[in-house]
Structure 1
Amino acid sequence: MNLIIREARIIDPKSPFDNKIVDLIIEDDSVTKIGIGLPNPNNIEELKLENLHLSQGWFDSSVSLGEPGYEDRETIANGLKVAGKSGFTGIALQPNSYPVIDNQSQILFVKNKANACATQLYPIGALTKGSEGKDLAELFDMKNAGAVAFGDYNKSQDNANMLKIALQYVQDFDGLVIAFPQDEKIKGNGVVNEGVVSTRLGLKGIPNLAEELQIARNLFLVEYTGGKMHIPTVSTAKAVQLIREAKAKGLQVTASATVHHLVFTDEKLEEFDSRHKVSPPLRTDIDRKALIEGVLDGTIDMITSDHNPIDIEHKKMEFDLAKNGTIGLESAFGALMTVLPLETVIEKLTVGKATFGIKSTPIVEGAKANFSLFNPEGKSTFANTSILSKSKNSAFLGMKLKGKVYGIYNQGELLITE
């Protein structure tokens, strides 16, 4: 569709229009003109919204949906609509469906399901067959089919030699390995962060060491192989420091942190509410502040919602037995705005594309129209009515959010929240 976006403040340091209020004319999916008070002789549709801000399209590096196999949790079509109305023009889809996305045909299946959607889907292929950690999956075939990375969602690789081989193998086709950082033996039967809160509540704890030991091992493997690794959902202060040191050495390492680890601590567990049961677990305020520092100094490259819809039968139950995970697309921007400056939020929601080999262009004339639309001002309370996902397992219910997402323009489609 052709469109004129009126009086939008551009937030894009790579654009000559950064922090300027301008009009944008979009024709045939491209920006044909940027300026002030642009005429509309062809009487095309116009969009004007209160305090409208516009940035390059946001990208979420870790989103679980459900389809195929768990459509009761979420479908690809609705999940992508939720992402778009939450401001995301692209998501990396985790392979934790049923069957697991571990071969070329599964990659093609989920890509075809997303063809007609405004939000683009970039599948992550499983690193091992069935995500069982025993044999490497068809990595090269999945790469050719469109996989942007390889990892077993929320499952660490106990076999260090297999991870070493994977890091060596994918270098032939510039592949990216995602290594979830958790030593399962040290985690044991833990369900929450090990500390004062777990002791007081009588819940089995997961020590920070479970994450840090695994990261240290994986960084040695990266250094040995010269491979490229992404460490997702970092949650401890020591982990941030380990990654900072690895980057100083010049290792090809990137990292993400989740929205919920940046805004919540394990104090949220006082009511035994399983909505706050996530993996890795919510940590202490010392860890949360270290994550914020890591975001600000560039140690943590990107922020993810780690959106993971879980059906009520597996979530609203005894805390020890409930599945890990929270949905987070709808609340991501508003929650981040409560702890980080706007420019940092936009940077961390857009820069991750480069890690996954996804092209992005500054907001200039001639560029493809791929935009997130939002208002950084105003406050609201995240309520059940704010949830667009099929599953309702949000850790953010009742939280005071800052700002408002209007939607996106991408793939020639304007998708706006009601």
Structure 2
Amino acid sequence: MNLLIKGGIVVDPVSGTVSEKDILVADGKIAGSGVGLHHPDAQVLDVPGKLVTPGLVDMHVHLREPGLEAKETIYTGTRAAARGGFTAVACMPNTRPVADSAAVIISIVNRAAADGAVRVYPVGAITNGSLGQEMAEMGDMKQSGAVAFSDDGMPVMDSGLMRRSMQYAKMLNAVIISHCEDKKLAGGGLMHEGDVSTMLGLKGIPAAAEEVMVARDILLAEDTGCRLHIAHVSTAGSVRLVREAKSRGVRVTAEAAPHHFTLTDQAVIGYDTSTKVNPPLRTAEDVAEIRRGLADGTIDVIATDHAPHTAEEKDVEYELAPFGMVGLETAVGLVWTELVAAGVLTLAQAIAKMTINPAKILGLPLGSLGAGAAADITIIDPAAAWTVDPAQFASKGRNTPFTGRVLHGLPYATIVSGRLVMREGIVL
């Protein structure tokens, strides 16, 4: 099918330009762009005043399949991604069984091909079972479709094992995505350690629990030459460590999740279990430094860490609830409202952090609107104001702390390989 997108404001993160023009899609590719384009056989999509960007890429989601389908499936999770404007997602390996072998990676790839509304790229585990005891078969997983390696949800506490894993990943030209948490320092905590945790009587997780491991993994990456990506940065100290490492030329990148640049530990007051995430919501000073890190390029990527759970799992005492919140369907609104409209990031900067930057880190041929590129396109209505209502989510997960919040900026359409998969909130 040929598609002509007319009158949109095209945001090109590669050149950093924003201009009004048309885009022609043919045979799943970008056929060209310019002003006043026409094509006799193309379906016309008129989008005046709307933003046309490369398809958004979320490099950190939990699709829960195989094994945890009560929380989410590839079918529901990719439809949540499409509603959120994402054309590609990278799914973390903490499934049942853990994605620590070629067989599980292949099963995810095959299931995504059958059920997925958007592109799905599996991330393989660093260690067998993500238990941190022995290195998994990364070579076999990479050949089977794994785009990176992580024990996300669990840190690799053994420094020698992490160093060997980095050495092996470097030989594969693969990136290690690190969940930075010292379990001894975290000590079974439930939220950020500080005045609020003391007031609420909840065991705290100190900022040092994250920062110690960020520092360790940066040093190991510098030692091995491995590409290292720091997942879900949450503290000011972590931002400073990444910034300093980049100044030395360490091959390190980092991501921040929307909840970590919008919410503080004050949100936990009231014991809403949707605010229970790992790493936890931190202080206003941490939020401000994460925003600075996004603005100056220290933090390369915005990723959701979409982590759905069942209502029954979350509808318990705070101590008993699992960590995690959903994020695919609120990300664009939070980025537009909290970062772009607030002047923290330019439009081109924000789109780069959700398109070309994660694509480059994962080695994916995505994130461009140049001629010949895959026609993965996101269209956003920046003027749309909407109220977050989890009952409308395509995700099985409803665990969001943003219920009732009015956001600006709404995904209008999602196009994958030239095919319209979502329009005006409806997955087609």
Secondary structure at 2:269's aligned position in 1? helix
- The one-letter amino acid paired with 2:397 is S
Query: For residue 12 of structure 1, what is the aligned residue in structure 2?
Result: 12
Matched, 1:407 2:413: yes
Query: For residue 240 of structure 1, what is the aligned residue in structure 2?
Result: 239
Equivalent positions of 1:11-410 (< 5 A) are: 11-14=11-14, 18-42=17-41, 44-49=42-47, 51-116=49-114, 117-341=116-340, 342-350=347-355, 351-360=357-366, 362-410=368-416
Native 8 Å contact 1:110 1:123 kept in 2: yes
Query: What's the offset of the Cα at 1:303?
Result: 0.8
CA distance in 1, matches of 2:288, 2:386: 24
Gaps of at least 5 residues in structure 1 are none
Q: Give aligned-pair identity as a percent.
A: 39
Query: What's the offset of the Cα at 1:49?
Result: 3.5
Native 8 Å contact 2:192 2:204 kept in 1: yes
Post-superposition CA distance 1:268-312 (Å, at most 9, x none) = 011100010000000000000000000111111101110011112
Native 8 Å contact 2:121 2:145 kept in 1: yes
Native 8 Å contact 2:61 2:305 kept in 1: yes
Query: What's the offset of the Cα at 1:118?
Result: 4.3
Secondary structure at 2:326's aligned position in 1? coil
CA distance in 2, matches of 1:54, 1:191: 40
Query: What's the offset of the Cα at 1:364?
Result: 3.0
Secondary structure at 1:122's aligned position in 2? strand
CA distance in 2, matches of 1:229, 1:19: 31
Native 8 Å contact 1:65 1:75 kept in 2: yes
Post-superposition CA distance 1:38-83 (Å, at most 9, x none) = 33423x3221235221111111111001111111111102211211
- The one-letter amino acid paired with 1:29 is G
Secondary structure at 1:155's aligned position in 2? coil
CA distance in 1, matches of 2:54, 2:171: 31
Native 8 Å contact 1:330 1:386 kept in 2: no
Per mean C-alpha deviation after superposition, the further-off stretch among 111-120 and 306-315 is 111-120
Distance 1:13 1:68, change over 3 A: closer
- The one-letter amino acid paired with 2:135 is L
Query: What's the offset of the Cα at 1:218?
Result: 1.5
Distance 1:398 1:361, change over 3 A: closer
- The one-letter amino acid paired with 1:364 is G
Native 8 Å contact 2:7 2:48 kept in 1: no
CA distance in 2, matches of 1:356, 1:115: 19
- The one-letter amino acid paired with 1:63 is V
- The one-letter amino acid paired with 2:25 is I
Secondary structure at 1:295's aligned position in 2? helix
Post-superposition CA distance 1:91-133 (Å, at most 9, x none) = 1100111111000011111111111544111110011111111
Secondary structure at 1:150's aligned position in 2? coil
Query: TM-score normalised to the size of structure 1?
Result: 0.96
Native 8 Å contact 1:152 1:180 kept in 2: yes
CA distance in 1, matches of 2:333, 2:24: 28
Secondary structure at 1:339's aligned position in 2? helix
Query: TM-score normalised to the size of structure 2?
Result: 0.94
Native 8 Å contact 2:256 2:302 kept in 1: yes
Secondary structure at 1:115's aligned position in 2? helix
Native 8 Å contact 1:67 1:75 kept in 2: yes
Query: What's the offset of the Cα at 1:213?
Result: 1.0
CA distance in 1, matches of 2:179, 2:40: 54
Native 8 Å contact 2:22 2:33 kept in 1: yes
Query: What's the offset of the Cα at 1:15?
Result: 5.1
Secondary structure at 2:339's aligned position in 1? coil
Distance 1:232 1:36, change over 3 A: same
Distance 1:275 1:361, change over 3 A: closer
Secondary structure at 2:8's aligned position in 1? strand
Per mean C-alpha deviation after superposition, the further-off stretch among 98-107 and 381-390 is 381-390
- The one-letter amino acid paired with 1:81 is R
